[in-house]
Amino acid sequence: MLRSRHPAALLAGLILPVMLLGGCADDLSPPDHQDDDTTQDGLPGPGGPQATFTATGGYYHGDIDTTAGNWVYIDLETQTQVAPDAPDASDDWDIAFLGTDIKLNGGVSGAPPGGQPVVVYPDKVDAGTPYPWESVTGAPPPSAVDYLTDERGGLFTGFGTQYVFANHPEADLEPDRLTGEGDHGWYHDAGIPAGSAITARDNVAYVIRSVECRYFNLRMTGYNSPEGSDGHPQFDLIEIPGSPCSTDGGGVVPLGAVTFSGTADGQRADVDASSEEAWVYIDLINALQVEPASPDDELTWDIAVQRTDIRLNGGASGPGDAALHDMLGGDWTSTTSVPGDAEWHSDETDALAFVTYPPAENTGDGACGGINGDFGWYYYSGFCNDGNGVHHISPRDVVYVVRDRSGTFWRLRMLGYYDDAGSSAHPSFEFAPIQ
């Protein structure tokens, strides 16, 4: 039986430290799915000598043959087996398989020189309940969950590489030290009395960010070939609707990322905030996107947007006097002046005002995996489908009074997080001056 070279059973009862990775996106782009049961002509595929891909029911199914004892490297975007000369420093692969081990091109397993380190969000629902895999409509924002990659073990985890897929999500059945029966990340080991059969946990799924900064929903489905031989890890894969995240660097998104349009009494802004690393800076007074050379020191902008995050030019984020007052359930039309009892909030080092206020009403519903909840201006659904899909971002019913960097007051409300094509990280908002 082909097994992992770093069996998680050796670590039973020990906790793998969580590594939080910032700058993770929550948008993805759907591939052009072929009809059901298409095979290796074009996509999906072409696979390779140890990898076979088929398209079934609108998603791709991969079958990897690891019985030769070598790592099988896969490029997720093209469903292709690749053979990188130097896997530790290659952009060619995203994920690799060897027995029950699965490694990522990130952390200690790889450092792609021209792309993004591969990270995953491991998730699960209650044991005995199939994961609502096909309902996932976006990747969870990093403000709500931890994205992980492979890391080096230590004193309390066991030395060697700690693969995310072999250790997360946590076990429903902790491994028995004598028989070996128990859960190890993506799979369940039936234990020695049952022949140590490996099966995929059906209540487990992963959201994975590739080297090209595209996001996929992945679930492991098996470990045995149709003939019954083991060492054949299998998985289903689909790119989550949305656009690939941008990696435009430099800290400032170039002009052209915001479209302004007039409303009855103000302006609407539609923002492409999909960059993983750069911010879109906006001048409210002139309804204009700007490119500050030194944002932390300049009074040329009022708010800045990056995915679900929104900064104010004040407090910890800038030299201005920008701040906000939040009114949960406030009436947009009747907000024509600054409330006399306004409570002003500026950005703090570890808390942006827009994603902190108003305080949460919904937090960690167990039915949604304990990860859903309110984050200032938006509600994140976790893996509950509240009508718009799993991992969905929805604006809360909030009217903000915003004081800009020069002391001018505005009413502002968030309108959405997706563009007309369904791409996430495209927030829109309306703003109008008040006295």
- How high is the pLDDT of residue 248? 54
Q: Which of 63, 59, 66, 33 is nearest to 51 (CA)?
A: 63
Which tens digits make up the pLDDT trace of 385-423? 777 777 889 999 999 999 999 999 999 999 999 999 888
**Those residues with Cβ within 8 angstroms of residue 378's Cβ, 6 or more apart along the chain or in another chain:** 308, 355, 393, 394, 395, 396, 414, 417
Give the Å distances, CA to CA, from 423 to 32, 92, 359.
15, 26, 27
List pLDDT tens digits, range 148-203: 999 987 544 455 789 999 999 999 999 999 999 999 999 999 999 999 999 999 99
Q: What is the SS3 assignment for 295?
A: helix
Q: Pick from 310, 314, 321, 304: which is nearest to 252 by CA?
A: 304
Give residue 154's pLDDT. Answer: 53
Give the CA angle between residues 103, 105, 109 to the nearest 5°. Answer: 60
153 close to 162: Cβ distance less than 8 angstroms: yes
| pLDDT score of 418 | 93
Q: Which residues 6+ apart lie within 8 Å of 277 measured at CB?
A: 23, 247, 248, 249, 250, 251
- Coil, strand or helix at 267: strand
The answer to pTM > 0.85 is no
Of the candidates 427, 388, 432, the one whose C-alpha atom is nearest the C-alpha of residue 137 is 388
First to last CA, the chain: 74
Beta-strand ranges (E) seen in 1-79 are: 51-56, 59-64, 72-75
Starting at the edge strand that comes first in sequence, how are the strands of the sheet with 198-200 ordered? 182-184, 187-189, 198-200
Q: Which of 351, 265, 275 is nearest to 289 (CA)?
A: 275
Please tell me the predicted confidence (pLDDT) of residue 247.
Answer: 56
Contact 175, 341 (CB under 8 A): no
Per-residue confidence (pLDDT) for residue 243, from 0 to 100: 60
Residue for token digits 């049961």? Answer: 37
Which of 152, 170, 154 lies closest to 162 in space, CA to CA?
A: 152
Tell me the pLDDT of the chain (435 aa) as tens digits. Answer: 343 333 332 222 222 222 323 333 333 233 333 333 333 334 577 899 999 999 887 789 999 999 999 999 999 999 999 999 999 999 999 999 999 999 999 999 999 998 889 999 999 999 999 998 887 777 787 767 889 999 987 544 455 789 999 999 999 999 999 999 999 999 999 999 999 999 999 999 999 999 988 889 999 999 999 888 999 999 999 887 666 676 554 589 999 999 999 999 899 999 999 988 899 999 999 999 999 999 999 999 999 999 999 999 999 999 999 999 999 999 999 999 999 999 999 999 889 999 999 999 988 776 676 778 899 999 998 777 777 777 889 999 999 999 999 999 999 999 999 999 888 899 999 999 998
